[in-house]
Structures are given as structure tokens and as C-alpha cells.
Structure 1
Amino acid sequence: MTDSSNSERDLQTRIVQPDDRITPGFESFSVPVTRASTVVFPDLATMRELVWSDDSKWRYGLHGTPTTVALAQRLATIEGGEHALLQPSGLAAISNVYFALVKSGDHVLVPDNVYGPNRDHADWLASDFGVEVTYYDPMKGAGIADDIRDNTKLIWLEAPGSVTMEVQDVPAMVAVARARGIVTAIDNTYSAGLAFKPFEHGVDISVQALTKYQSGGSDILMGATIARDFELHKKLKRARMRLGVGVSSDDASLVLRSLPTMQLRYEAHDRSALALAKWLKTRPEVAAVLHPALDDCPGHEFFKRDFSGGAGGLFSFVFDARHGAAQVDAFVEALELFSIGWSWGGAHSLAMPYDIRSMRTASKWPHEGVLVRLYIGLESESDLRADVERALEKALG
């Protein structure tokens, strides 16, 4: 930059490079939205001293802006981690873990109740990239040791499973992994980092789909990988850099705006969901209700031991086997307050049927009937209950 007077320059130049005079000292509760691709350096020496792994220096907009860094820092705080990276979706965060930690010839263990796109990703790595993948019974606990091979590099955890709701014995599985020097990663989206603290139980990486409770508005796609160990964080950061993915500062600002109310919303979802789950257990059409806070849900003892702050708004129930898939579809379509859609974490309630038998390869599914997953939004629980009751009577009565 030179000291030439801006007033002597052409108008077009002054529009592109204005001599702004903005009164200093402005403060507000919100983090300013900083949009940038190019980061400007004060001199060449500063630019040449940059190191990609140094988070304390601004380098290029793809790697972070004040807005995205503020969000990453707050997510790490919520989760109890030290370092967080943002990705453009929850699946991108899962991808970040795979590409940072495994290569052709490596072995990965994935729970049979894993989030569907994670299973698809693992199958793709196995078929096209020579990564060995084994699916294991999510209730295996310390027995996971039987599935470990000399080339096992990564064990995925998901507690609870986002459709079938089994809660894994995370500390037991982590202890086995640590003894063998294997990295553990958990999809912790269900708890939003509020109800379950993975790092307190020894997990190495926590993955969040910020699309869910962190956003709260059903209008943002975003993910995050969170870690405590800096060297592990560097591996994740290097992979993200090579993949060339980034997150919009505008989207990050919307998540930042929602974070202060996240716990209050999570608790409200939890109260309504648990009340509706208990009511569904009394219905003759229902064979099982899969809610981690209910004592007959697989892994309830681990939920009671390891989780605090409730279970949020997501649970499933299984119809009695006498009600076929067509009747269950009719029930879902008869609902008026529940929309048909994936995801969760927003204000609106959702319902989705699943054929679990077609999704399992390594564990026996004990139920004959069709499963329906419900996400309980912020509508009145009494209205949602009345809607479910009316739909049951209309479709099955």
C-alpha cells in the first residue's frame, strides 16, 4: 500500500478501494459475518512465513474466517474438545475422518446400526479403494476385540444408533481400541454434544451433523469433526485441505445464532418425545418402543450410566407384525403434524418408516414388524399424540 491521497484517484478506483471512515467501538452480541476467499497480507514476509497447520494465522478463506473459527471454537467447547473443523455436511465430516486416517489395505470396524450414508461410504471405500470393512453387532462391547485385525486403523461408534437406538458400551470399546493403538470416532449427532461427552469416555474424534440441533431451523447443511489431540486434528485438517471443502460464513453465522438456545430446545424435544414414547408403549398396535431412556431399550444401562441431559427428540417404535408395510405406510401418510422426511433437530416433527432387516448384515434384528422413526419437534405434545392416535385409527382401525 502507498500513501497516495485517495481523493486524487479516479472514482472507480475509490469505489473499489474506498477510504472508509467508520466510527470504532461498535459491539453487539452477534459474531460479525466475515466473507472472504482472498485473505490480504500486510507484507510478503508475513505471507511467506505461513504454515498450513498453524491455526493462529489467517491464510485463505477456504481454511477459515473469523466467523467460521468462532463457530469451531464454540463447538469444541460444547463437546469438551480442543480443536474443531467445519465441513459442508455431516457426511462430509464422516468423509473427513475416513480420508484422514485410512488407506488401501487398512481395516475399519463399523457398527451395524450406523447412519446409512456412513455405511454407503464404507461400502464405497471397500469396493473402489481397497479398504477392508467389517460390520459388527453394536452391542458387542469389549467383545469388539474379536473383530480387530493387525491392520485395523479405525473403529466407528454410534450411540445410540440413529434409527434403531441401541446404546453402545462406549468406554469398554474404547478401552479395547486404546490398548491396540486404534483410533475411535463416534457419530455423536444424537446427543448434540450435550447429553453425551465422548472425550470424557476416551473417544478420539467426535463427528457432529450441525444440520440437526445446532442449526435448529431445518435450513442448514453443515458438519464438524472435533478432537482433543493436536496431531490427530492436523491429520483431519490436512485431509480437509486436500479435499478442498469449505463452509460459508453466512451459514456459520446462522448456526452461531442458534447455539444459545440449543440446550433449551433439546430439553423441550426430550420432554415431549419421552412422554409420547411412554404413551406409545400402551398402544396395542405397537410391539416395541425404542427410546434409550426406557429400560427395555437395548443398551439402556449404558445410557443411564453415560448420558446426562436427556435423549432429545428422536426415537423409534415397531408395529405389531400383524400390521404389514402397506398399513404402516398408510399410517405415516395419515399423519398431519408429522412431515415425511429425514434428518431431525428442527422445530417440525417428522416420521419415516424403515425396513430394518434389509439394513442389517452383522447382527440379528429381533422384531418382525415395521419400524417407524419419529422426530418430535416443538409442537404441543398433546397435539402430536392426538395426531398419532387419529392416524393409527385411520390406517389400522
Structure 2
Amino acid sequence: MKKETQLISAGRSKKYTQGVVNPVLQRASTVVFDNVAQFKEAAKNRGNGALFYGRRGTTTHFALQEAIAELEGGAGCALYPSGAAAIANSLLSFVKSGDHILMMDTAYEPTRDFCNKILSGMGVTTTYYDPMIGGGIEALIQDNTRVIFMESPGSITMEVQDVPAIVNVAKEHGIITMLDNTYGNGLNFRPLDFGVDISIQAATKYIVGHSDVMMGVSVATEKYWPTLRENSYLLGQCCSADDAYMALRGLRTMAVRLAQHEQSALKIASWLSEHHLVDHVRHPAFASCPGHEFFKRDFNGSNGLFSIVMKQGNQAALDGLVEALHHFKMGFSWGGFESLITTSLTMKPLRSATGWQHGPVVRLHIGLEDVDDLIDDLTQGLEVYASHL
């Protein structure tokens, strides 16, 4: 089955749809039972899709979990109220005081903060590594290393990791591997196919796709799914049935949305690569992006997210660019239908293992607007940028 077809059919068995097209929206906190035998049967199967209690999920949640697990090729999928919660609780499910984590230096900022501010207080230490380290990560492994965490491409600066090389080292040492796969989304990259143990996404982004739901998902292999499922439940993680329904709806159109995001982003990135103010483009499909060779080898495609590195700049120029734009809005997140822009004068505060020797960074998410309108918008915005240099 092609992935485009899979997105339409996944999670739509008759037990979820009950005779209509979409899985039924089932809201519940309490589940009631007709007799003791039924209660005992539900308790026995409460982790395997049986209605038991609202925090365990309803048929709406089960439909989404089944669909995402199928998309990512895993044994099961846990749902969380945000992508940050998915990352935090995936780590919490497998580490304890005295453990050590290897975390790539280009981690999503809340991931880094969670390690530095929460895990450190629990006695879990973190070493940040160069995302381009590949098999050289073996030199950083300690006797107590429990998890190697990857994010590919990296946050903002888009470095693509050599995931198979890192996974091979991890398996030799019995270390769990996790990967933030929000960019790859299960369509363009499936980490579990490359030996990763747990694949995490901010479903807020391309799965939902309309900037109206916060959600995280974490998919695990058969070996680690029972622990992830039960520990996430004990940590109180769940999301509303309404949000699960919205994620299911977004899932059906994700392939066509991604195709348009990708096409428009490639056109705009190519145009920007020739702009006199731009030093280079950080788009995984471009040779100027670190790890481009791994992207070509491992990924099926890209999406609407990339960054550009400016030759020179200052805060006034960055602020002027953002405020001059009409179609690009300033805001966090990405993956929705709208175009967004964020800027960073330097990446140094967020880099401890690699540093940052380049100019200011402008991250763009290319939405579903007309691509020529977006180029016109950037043209006049960059003119304002230049006026502040």
C-alpha cells in the first residue's frame, strides 16, 4: 500500500467508524460496565485497546493511535498534550537518577531546557554532541548512558544526522535510541525502519496541519512499547477526544499538503540561495545544508521548513524584516497552512558542543499561499533588512 493510501485508510476499521466515514467522536472520563466479568475483562486488556477509563482513551483515541503506529511502523503509539510533553515523557519513561543521556547539540530548545532544568535536578546528566558526529558518538558513551536522543534535521539550523551510524553504535552498547521525527512525519522518514527504538512527533505540526491543536505522539518498537505506554499513563499523559479527532482529520490530507509545502519551499529556497544578502540556505535538499548526503540517502522528501543564514546583520535589520512582511507572520511553531518567520541574531546561546560561527539565521515555514506572493513579500522585506545594514 502506498503511503498516500495508507493515510486515508489507517485507523478507519469498522469498530471505530461504526458505519460512517470517519471514526466516531467518543468523549468520556468514566467508562461503565454491565457486570463484574466485563469489568475484569476490560481491566485485563486496558493497555490493548479496551475501554477502561477516560485517561486510557476512547475509540477516537484508539483510532488515532492505530493510524500513527501504522504510519511510523511501530508496535504502539502514546498520545500527549503537546510535542514537548511527548519528548519529556518519553525520556522520563526510561531514565532514572544516575543515568546519562547523549543529546544532539541542535535540539529543540524546550528539549534542551528539560534536560538542563528538570532532568539535571533528578540526577540525570546530559552530554551534548555534534549532530554530525555519526559513528564517532561511541567516544562519548559512558557506563551509565541510557539514551541517545536525535533530532534530524536539527532545530533551526537543520543539520541532518547519520541516523544508521548512531543507531549501530547504540545497539552495540544496549542503549535506547529516540528521535524527534516532527520534520520527517512518518511519510518522509520512518526512524524505526532505521533501527531507532522510539519515534516522537509534535503532531501539532503537519499531522494536525491547521494550527488549532496542541498534541504530541510517541511510537515505540515492540520491545519498548509496554514501558512507554504504562509509564506515560502513570505520568498522567492524555489528550482530549476532540483533539484526537482533529488529528485524524488532518492526517487524511497530510500527503497532499506536504507535497505543496515542499514544492513551494524548494522554489523559494532556490530563489533565496541567489540573493545577495544570503550567505547560504539551510534546507536539507540543498548541498549547502550539513548532512545533505544523509537526507538524500534516507528521506523520501522534504516539507515547508528551512532556514537561511545571512551574510551580515543586526537586530534592527532582523526586526525590520519581520515587521515589513505581510504574508509571513511572526510566531512560534510551524507545519500549518500559513507561512511563518522567526529570526535569531546568533545561535551561540543554544549551542554548547558545536558553537556558531555564522551570521544571523532566519527560519521560514512556507505555507500554502501562492508562492509568487510569498517571494514578493520576502523581496520587499529583504529591502528593509538591507536598509538597516
TM-score in terms of structure 1 length:
0.91
2:117 aligned with 1:124: yes
Give, in whole Å, the separation in 1 of the partners of 2:192 and 2:376: 40
1:194 equivalent to 2:187? Answer: yes
Q: Tell me the equivalent position of 1:391.
A: 381
* Per-residue Cα deviation, 1:314-359 (whole angstroms, up to 9, x for no partner): 00001112x2222122111211110001111111100000231111
Q: How does 1:198-213 map onto structure 2 within 5 Å?
A: 198-213=191-206
- How far the C-alpha of 1:392 sits from its partner, in A, is 0.8
- The one-character-per-residue Cα deviations of 1:76-109 (angstroms, maximum 9, x if unpaired) are 1111222111111101101111110001100001
Please name the residue that 2:336 is paired with: 346
TM-superposed deviation, 1:245: 2.1
Structure 1 match to 2:14: none
Which of 226, 240, 245 is residue 248 of structure 1 equivalent to?
Answer: 240
1:385 aligned counterpart, secondary structure: helix
Note the 1:270-349 alignment, pairs <5 A.
270-308=262-300, 310-321=301-312, 323-349=313-339
Say which SS state the counterpart of residue 190 (structure 1) adopts: coil
Structure 1 counterpart of 2:27: 35
Whose radius of gyration is greater, 1 or 2? 1
Contact 1:53 1:234 in 2 (8 A): no
- Decide which moves more: 49-58 or 86-95: 49-58
Match of 1:5 in 2: none
* Aligned equivalents of 1:52, 1:316: Cα separation in 2: 46
The Cα shift of 1:52 comes to 6.6
| Bigger shift: residues 232-241 or 257-266 | 232-241
Classify the secondary structure of the residue corresponding to 2:51: coil
Q: Distance in 2 between matches of 1:59 and 1:164?
A: 44
Distance 2:230 2:109 in 1: 26
Change (3 A) 1:74 1:177: same
User: Do residues 139 (structure 1) and 132 (structure 2) align?
Assistant: yes
Contact kept? 2:27, 2:58, Cα under 8 Å: yes
1:258 Cα deviation after fit: 1.4
Aligned: 1:258 with 2:250? yes
Q: 1: distance between equivalents of 2:18 and 2:171?
A: 49
**Matches of 1:248 and 1:26, distance apart in 2:** 20
Alignment of 1:55-94 (within 5 A): 55-94=48-87
Please give the alpha-carbon distance, in whole angstroms, between the structure 2 residues aligned to 1:371 and 1:175. 33
Count of aligned positions: 369
Contact 1:314 1:374 (C-alpha < 8 Å) held by counterparts: yes
Which deviations, in whole Å up to 9, do the C-alpha atoms of 1:12-54 show, x marking residues without a partner?
A: xxxxxxxxxxxxx972211110001111112112323423763
Which residue in the other structure is 2:365 paired with? 375
Structure 2 unmatched runs, 5+: 1-16
Shift of 1:232: 1.0
Q: Which moved more, 1:55-64 or 1:110-119?
A: 55-64
Contact 2:220 2:228 in 1 (8 A): no
- 1:213-252 correspondence to structure 2 within 5 Å: 213-229=206-222, 231-252=223-244
SS in 2 for 1:189: coil
- Choose the corresponding residue for 1:177, options 166, 170, 175: 170
Q: 1:160–1:99: structure 2 CA closer, same or farther, 3 Å change rule?
A: same
Cα deviation code 1:212-250 (max 9, x no counterpart): 011111000000110121x41111112211111211101
Task: Provide the residue aligned with 2:5 in structure 1.
Answer: none
Is this contact kept in 1: 2:82–2:215, CA < 8 A? yes
